[in-house]
Structure 1
Amino acid sequence: MSPSLLLQVPVFGIGVEQLLLLLVTALAGGAFGAAVGALPAFIFTGFVVFLGEGVAILQREVGAVADIPAGELAAGITGVIGFGPITGPHIAFAGGVAASAYAGKKYPEMNPADEGYHFGKDITYAFGTKPDILAVGAIFGALGMLLFRFLNGLFINVVGVMPPTDFLAVSVFTTAFLARPVFGYPLVGRPAGDGLLDMGPFERDEKRTATDGGAVSSRPATEPWLPHQYEWAGVTAIGLVGGVLAGFIWLETGSFFLGYGLSAISLLFLNLGVEKIPVTHHITLLGSVGAAVAAPAVGFDPLIVLVGGLFGAASALVGEVTQRMFYSHSGTHVDPPAMAIGIMMLFVGVLAILGVLPSAGYL
């Protein structure tokens, strides 16, 4: 064994050599997210997770394959690649988000639209090979990896309990919040209407002159995360639908992340400009968790998937509250699905630790 592997970093739970390997790869992963754009990077996450979960389902059915123990290959695809330093949302997506925030201030002339949301919120924009933008993505990708490893390692290896929430999701929105003051944006922003939750200015097509990204621009006074997915009734409806479907997927396959992967893949159509594609990965992930925590107590399949629907609806509504509070009034992207997952899984994790729920899902 390499001597450096003997030197463990308890709060990270791995050796120095492995930590350095992850750090170097996360720098490249964050730069990759900046190069291709945050949303395309997350779509890659969906494809990789979908592949990993498909392999996992196959291996659970057939057991070990040749010299590969059952589950080991799938864990590598989903965990090491999909949620690791190559396409992990806390690295590649986070790097792309930070790159957009930086470019919104540094290069407003890149903005392909004359009017609209602030360029710092454009997570579909691929920045190609511009070195300074790639460097920003790299730094924030590395920060995302370190924060996730630190928080997980702190609870598992130091405190000695399971993580009480999904720290990958926490890392995604924490680095996005960090990018705002770093690049000169307001942390939350000043609402144009009657409080943080009011979408009325958007509905009335009110405009404001904004300089929080460096350049003066006329843009909507309030900017909902998804103009086609912000009304309470519609958000609840898609939450119920996505949660039920994800609950069924978990019930039939045992996979927490297959529905999540499908949701992420569906964003390819949104990225290509298909109108009104809903964003559902925070819904399907919690739908599968809801089904899993309900199954031991309920034991009736139709009711299990309905509980998945309720969890999906709750996550959708939490995402909507967070977007109204933290996305709509400043000039950069802070991810409502990541905030919803972090909050909902904190609820699930704490109740599981207290013994109220039989499990904490994938935690």
Structure 2
Amino acid sequence: MEMLYGILLGFCGGVFGALIGGVTSFVFCGFLGIIGIAIVLAGGSDIFLYSVAFGPLFGPHVAFSGGVAAVAFLAKKERVAKRKSQNYLGEAITNKKGLKNIQKRSSVNHNIEGTNIMLPLLKTNDFTVLIVGGVFGVIGFVVYYLLNDIFFLRADNAAITVALCGIL
């Protein structure tokens, strides 16, 4: 049951990273980490640090990976839509009345690059982008779980997970 909760939180963390942007979610994780360190230095438990700041919801292996994957997916989706609205010479395809094809603003947002990981996708009104962020959040959680709890890899497993999700 704990794994199911982790997968659900991983999906929510990926959606969170897609909503506010990859870099912003990374900064948010840093602020939560500072709060967790302050709690530990004050004599408290390290549960907040490991379960909240670097846990399955706000950890960089979940939220940052989800945000980056969502921006890359949106940029790819925009390129495909742009390619469909042009002929093989790059000219805009017109309909029978001679008007250029007009795309809905909510489905395609122009001038979005896949390398702009600071971009919050909250205003795109495109739920498929959020789903991709959530799926990559789940992938990040599962890979981190495998590296940390199954293989007992003694390394920076969150960074390895982010790198592996970037390769995907």
Q: Same fold (TM over 0.5)?
A: yes
The count of aligned residue pairs is 138
| Larger Rg over CA atoms | 1
Matches within 5 A, 1:40-79: 40-59=24-43, 71-72=44-45, 75-79=46-50
- 1:56-89 C-alpha deviation (Å, 9 max, x unpaired): 1111xxxxxxxxxxx42xx222111111122100
Asked if 1:153 corresponds to 2:149, the answer is yes
Q: Which residue matches 1:24?
A: 8
Query: How much does 1:103 deviate?
Result: 0.8
Q: Which runs of 5+ in 1 are unaligned?
A: 1-16, 60-70, 114-118, 157-162, 179-363
Counterpart of 1:92 in structure 2 is: 63
**Residues 1:80 and 2:51 aligned together:** yes
| C-alpha displacement of 1:111 | 4.7
Pick from 134, 137, 140 the counterpart of residue 144 of structure 1.
140
**TM-aligned CA deviation for residue 168 of structure 1:** 1.2
d(CA) in 2 for partners of 1:33, 1:111: 21
1:171 aligns with 2:161: yes
| Structure 2 letter corresponding to 1:123 | I
Give the match's secondary structure for 2:27: helix
What is the distance in 1 between the residues matched to 2:51 and 2:21?
21
Following the alignment from structure 1 to structure 2, what is the Cα–Cα distance between the partners of residues 38 and 88?
Answer: 11
Identity rate of aligned residues, in percent? 32
Structure-2 residue corresponding to 1:213 = none
2:119 aligned with 1:125, yes or no? yes
The letter of the residue matching 1:110 is N
5+ residue gaps, structure 2: 80-107
Amino acid paired to 2:56 = P
Tell me how far apart the structure 1 counterparts of residues 11 and 18 of structure 2 sit (CA, whole Å).
11
Distance in structure 2 (CA, Å) of the matches to 1:111 and 1:85? 32
Q: TM-score, normalised by structure 1?
A: 0.37
Cα deviation 1:274-330 (Å, max 9, x = unaligned): xxxxxxxxxxxxxxxxxxxxxxxxxxxxxxxxxxxxxxxxxxxxxxxxxxxxxxxxx
Query: How well do the aligned residues superpose, as a CA RMSD in angstroms?
Result: 1.5
Aligned residue type for 1:103:
L
Counterpart amino acid of 1:32? Answer: F
Structure 2 CA distance, aligned partners of 1:93 and 1:38?
5
1:110 aligned partner: 109
Structure-1 separation of matches of 2:15 and 2:21: 10
Looking at structure 1, the residues matched to 23 and 145 of structure 2 have their Cα atoms a distance apart, in angstroms, of 23
Counterpart secondary structure, 1:124? coil
Deviation, structure 1 residue 112: 4.5
Q: Secondary structure at the match of 1:110?
A: coil
> Map of 1:202-213 to 2, 5 A cutoff?
none
Q: Which runs of 4+ in 1 moved over 3 A?
A: none
- 1:26-54 per-residue CA deviation (whole Å, 9 max, x = no partner) reads 10110110011101111110110010001
TM-score by length of 2: 0.77
